Structures are given as structure tokens and as C-alpha cells.
Amino acid sequence: MKNLFFFIVTLFLFSCTQKESGKDYPIQPVSSQNVELTDNFWSQRIKTNTNVTIPYCFQKCEETHRIDNFAVAGGLMEGTFVGRRYNDSDVFKIMEGAAYSLQQKYDPALDKYLDDLIAKIAAAQEDDGYLYTVRTILGDSAMTERNGKERWVEVRNHSHELYNVGHMYEAAVAHYNATGKTNFLDVAIKNADLINSVYGPDKRHDAPGHQEIEIGLTKLYRTTGEQKYLDLAMFFLDERGKSDIRDYSSESQWENGAYWQDHKPVTEQNEAVGHAVRAVYMYSGMADVAALTGNQEYIDAINTIWENVVGKKYYITGGIGAMYEGEAFGKNYQLPNRAYNETCAAIANVFWNHRMFLMNGESKYIDVLERTLYNGMLSGISFEGNTFFYPNVLEFDGKDKFNQGASERKPWFDCSCCPSNISRFIPAVPSYIYAKTENEIYANLFMANNTGFKLNKKDFTIQQETEYPWQGRVKFKISAEKPVKFDFKIRVPGWAQNNPVPGDLYEYINETTGEVRLFLNNEPYSIELINGYATIRKTWEDGDMVELVLPMNVKKVVPHKNAKDIEGKVALERGPIVYCAEQADNSDGVLSRSVSVSSEFKPLYVSNELQGIVKLKSEDNFTLVPYYSWGHRGLGEMAVWFDLN
């Protein structure tokens, strides 16, 4: 009963505060609140995130003084500041994840834990709204150059003052949506009002050194309807590339500002450069602002940059940001196997591609999202949910300490952005399955679930049944009290149509790919592809059923000839899953293995290994496992790309 009341209150509050202009993405996601997952693959991950990752990350924040920093700043305990200046942001990200968890399943203990934490954060906030625990505790005189000797003076480079609070806005909005309580949102609004009083056309000018506040501000705008937050997000974006502290003629990314995407005005940027997470948070923020304002110049710029990333800077595993130096994008076609591919950058890539889809309604963005989701993002966290990769390499010799000084997933990092980012990302995965307009439903991802919809004042549910990503059959059953008319748009993945990625960075060399089939009420239905979606336009009745059958043959993929790091190599895929070989299955090692054009790999489902996977096995027993599952069976060689002969 309490839950029902809680739900109604939340809905009421939420519906009262929707902004009024009405302009936003033409396609809207279906919130994970409306989705009940019934699958084996993602349900396990979300359960582990709720039961292990979130409590574990909070515990690490307690052990590492991240939470005490708020208490000390708020005068609630004695002590000093411990850690890095951006550690406040980790706490906010985990709180965002906890809010999504609460929204899916109410947990009074977690609700109370968040309230206690919010009280500490509110105490740490200075009277005028400022929130940056390192400065509040230590004072200006003890600040390093990177913190900034005074408020704001280092915003453009390293202070992360605006980055931290951007994450707070996202967390506060999530907490408000989950609980209907405004205790956290009030802290966020007070802070945003301070920032708005400091920055603006007639005030202080800076482009935030680590983008994030732009996304946070658009969420605050959507929640409060306050135009000033949207204007401020756009102001910060438009400040880029207009600084007198940069040397725009320099080749160095540190001097010309490219590391911070501060080398050119955003509307003139046409290549993904610099720190990958900053860059892709910025492209996501530009998409949000463009959706809310109709800014065509932003749209043109991110379209061009998107083509650059997927066409020239995108790993087969969905990772982005090749370089350890500066955690940055490499040059065009520079894709070394000792990739940086930060887990946060993969998460950012999902955010960005989801927004590109919501803007354009084309399946190619979901193709990119799906590749990153199932491969280069998921590799970042162990099955146990409490160890993490920060970089995600595509090749490993069994010894290299590529993971911030370790060869295996680590329990935590000094800069722990990736674990906290995963903790908020995983519970939001169901919100990527469906999207809708007034008369269309998009089915983007395939995972078994029951989802409730409302279109034209009619309620109905869609039950999705599938063993994806291991099998290619996906069934949708409609339950509706009254017939309901809509276009059902079911994504036909690019990989099922012989296009591993949009563009020509990778291609398949198999001669046959198998056929995509569609059935309506068990009768074959000819596929009409619109923007990559098999589209069925009809009045749906209770019991109607659609079935999509995707070909799940093993595919060999080869890179563009300009990708010299992987020239002459081949990788293997099946469905959305990219494979790797590990020494655990191949005792002679895998780094010098080759694969011939004609060698056949057979899929083999094993339920008792690596949480249940499909392995690939060749005639001569060369065995591959999903890339995301690597690194769970001791140290040994791993490779994604093999010599092709």
C-alpha cells in the first residue's frame, strides 16, 4: 500500500513540474520504471548492481573519506579533506544509481541512507550555494594550482568545480523522480542559482574544463521548467574555443585546448579530439540543448563528429578513446590493441548515441549503442560486481599492468570514476529498450521484459520474449483491453544486414549472412525497413504477436585498410557479441594464433561457465569467449584480433 501511495505521489509531482515549452527530443525513451525485466542476461547484472555494486561503492566512499569530506565541510565532524578534488562526484554518481534502483524496487533502508547522505551534502553546501568540499574544508590559502587559488579561477582547466556539481544535478533529479522528495533537488537548485549568478554573458566567462554540468543543467531545466538553466548550459557550450589562455596555433592539445575540446567553438568542431569522456559528455550536452532549443548548428556539428568517431575512431568492441596519453581520442584510424578505451567513455558513448537516436529515429545509432553496451562497456565490471577495468584493452600478454597498475580488474581506483559511473549506468539499461512518439513504438534492444505503455489514452503492454544475445528469436506479444493503433518499429540490427558498424571502418568477410525474417501472428510478414526499423502499421488487438528472427551465424570481421594497428587481422562476432580468445581455453597462448578465411567456428552454449555464454570453437579446437567475459579466470593471454590467413 505504501508503495502504491509513493508511486502516485511521485507521478503527481512529476506531472506538475514538466516544463511547459514542449520542445524536446521528438522521440521519448520509455523509463525503466515501466519496464519489468524477465531476462537472464541483464537481470543478473542489475541485481548484482543493486545488491553488490551500489552498497560496495558507498562502502568504498566511506572508507576513502569521500563521504566524510561532506561531513567535515558541513561541520558535522572534525577532520580534514582527504583525496582528490573531484571525489565529491563519485558520491553523486552512486546516489544517482541508488535512485534508479529505488525507482525500480523501493528499499526503505536505501531511502534512509540517501536522506542521511543528503543531509551531509546540504551541510557541506556554503551559505551562498557553493559546493566543493576541498575548498570549504581547506580554504583558499591551502588550495593547489589545480584546485584554483580562488573559486572559479581554475574552472577552465582542472578544478572540476562545475563537473562535480553537474553530477549532483543529475543525481538530484533522479532522486526527486524516484522519491518525490525535494531535499536533494533543493541543494542542486541553490547551487545552480549561484553558478547562474556568477556566469553569463555579462558576468564571468569560462568553458568548464570537464564537461558534465551541461547535461546536468538540461535535466534541471526539464525538471523545474526554469529557462535560465537551459540558457546557462548553452552559454557554457558556446564559451568553448574563445579563451585568451589558449594558444590556438599550437600543435599541443594541452596548449591549444583540444584536450578540453576548447580549441574551437563547438559549432566549428568536426573531429573527435582530446579527452574522450569530456568530449562525449559535451556531444551529449549539445544534443540535449539542440533538442530543447532546435539549434541546428549544434546538430550539424555533432552529426559530423559522429561520422568521424564511428568511421575512424571506433573500436570493434565499441570502445572509444584510444590513447593513454590524456585519456584521449587518437588520430583517425589509430586503433592500437593496447587501447585506453575508458569504461566511462563507453558509458558516455551509450549516452550520446541514445540521444542521437532520440533526435533522428535512425537505427544506426542503436547499432553503435548496442555494440558498446554488450562489449566495451560490460567488460568494465566483473560478474561479482566489485572489481573493475578502467581501460579496456583488446590484447593482453598476461603481465601488462594496463589497469592503473594492475593486470586484473581492481576493487577501486584513486580516481574511481569508472566504478561509480557503472553503478549508475547498469540500473538504467532497461530505459534503452523502448522509445515512443505519439503514434509509434520503437523496440531498440532485445531482452525479455514486460513493459507498460500509454498511447492515445490507451493502456497496453508488450511482453518481449527472447534468449538474446545467444539466440536470434525475439517475440513481442501485445495485451490491450481496447484495440490501439500505432506503428510498431522493430530494429533490424546492422550486424544482421552485413553492416557491423555504420560507415566502412569494419566489414564482414563471410559470404552468407542468413536472412532476417518477420512474422505477424505466425504468418510471414514482408519487412518494410524505415530508417533501419521493420515497421508494422496497424491497429493492434489483444493477443497480437510479432516475431523477429535474426540470423545468428558466426561472422568474421576485418578492418579498413587504413587501420594499420590491426592490418591483416580478423575478429569474430556472433549476434551483438564480439569475441576474444583467452589462454584459459587455449593453453598454448592466443597472441600468435591465426584464423583462416575458411575456418569454421561452431557456437556452443555452456550454462555453467562465465554466467552462461555461447563459446565459439573451431575444427582445431581454437576456443573463443565473449569479450565482455574476459579476465575472470586468472592471468593469461587475451586477444580480439588474429592474423588472417
Instruction: State the residues that interact with Zn ion by CB under 5 A.
Output: 342, 344, 417-418
What is the distance between the alpha carbons of residues 120 and 114, in angstroms, rounded to a whole number?
Answer: 10
* Contact present, 404 and 344 (Cβ < 8 Å): no
What is the distance between the alpha carbons of residues 631 and 640, in angstroms, rounded to a whole number?
Answer: 13
Least distance CB 90 / Zn ion (angstroms): 10
Nearer of residues 87 and 451 to Zn ion, judged by Cβ: 87
Least distance CB 96 / Zn ion (angstroms): 15
**118: its cell numbers:** 543528503
Q: Which residue has the cell 524536446?
A: 24
Angle between helix 66-73 and helix 108-124 axes, rounded to 10 deg: 50
Angle between helix 183-198 and helix 161-179 axes, rounded to 10 deg: 150
* Contact present, 124 and 70 (Cβ < 8 Å): yes
Nearer of residues 340 and 495 to Zn ion, judged by Cβ: 340
**Phi/psi at 510 (5° precision):** -65, 145
Least distance CB 387 / Zn ion (angstroms): 14
Nearer of residues 212 and 342 to Zn ion, judged by Cβ: 342
Residue 598 burial (C-beta neighbours within 10 Å; 0-12, 13-18, 19+) = exposed
Nearer of residues 53 and 499 to Zn ion, judged by Cβ: 53
Residue 461 burial (C-beta neighbours within 10 Å; 0-12, 13-18, 19+) = middle
Which one, of 285, 259, 447, lies nearest residue 351 by Cα?
Answer: 285
Least distance CB 422 / Zn ion (angstroms): 9
- Chain residue at closest Cβ approach to Zn ion: 344
Least distance CB 514 / Zn ion (angstroms): 38
CA geometry: angle 569, 570, 573, nearest 5 deg: 155
Least distance CB 342 / Zn ion (angstroms): 5
Is the C-alpha dihedral spanning 171, 174, 179, 180 positive or negative?
A: positive
Least distance CB 413 / Zn ion (angstroms): 8
Least distance CB 167 / Zn ion (angstroms): 12
What is the distance between the alpha carbons of residues 32 and 431, in angstroms, rounded to a whole number?
Answer: 4
What is the distance between the alpha carbons of residues 312 and 339, in angstroms, rounded to a whole number?
Answer: 15
Nearer of residues 418 and 546 to Zn ion, judged by Cβ: 418
Least distance CB 404 / Zn ion (angstroms): 10
What is the distance between the alpha carbons of residues 279 and 139, in angstroms, rounded to a whole number?
Answer: 31
Q: Which residue has the cell 562526484?
A: 89
Nearer of residues 276 and 580 to Zn ion, judged by Cβ: 276
Least distance CB 344 / Zn ion (angstroms): 3
Nearer of residues 418 and 429 to Zn ion, judged by Cβ: 418
What is the distance between the alpha carbons of residues 198 and 573, in angstroms, rounded to a whole number?
Answer: 51
What is the distance between the alpha carbons of residues 276 and 258, in angstroms, rounded to a whole number?
Answer: 11
Nearer of residues 132 and 413 to Zn ion, judged by Cβ: 413
Nearer of residues 288 and 342 to Zn ion, judged by Cβ: 342
Least distance CB 146 / Zn ion (angstroms): 18
Nearer of residues 210 and 312 to Zn ion, judged by Cβ: 210
Contacting residues for 512 by C-beta, under 8 A, at least 6 apart: 553
Least distance CB 174 / Zn ion (angstroms): 19
What is the distance between the alpha carbons of residues 343 and 630, in angstroms, rounded to a whole number?
Answer: 15
Nearer of residues 291 and 417 to Zn ion, judged by Cβ: 417
N- to C-terminal Cα separation, the chain: 65
Nearer of residues 345 and 548 to Zn ion, judged by Cβ: 345
| 324-327 own/partner pairs: CB under 8 Å, 24+ apart | 324/391, 326/253, 326/254, 326/259, 326/274, 326/275, 327/275, 327/276, 327/277
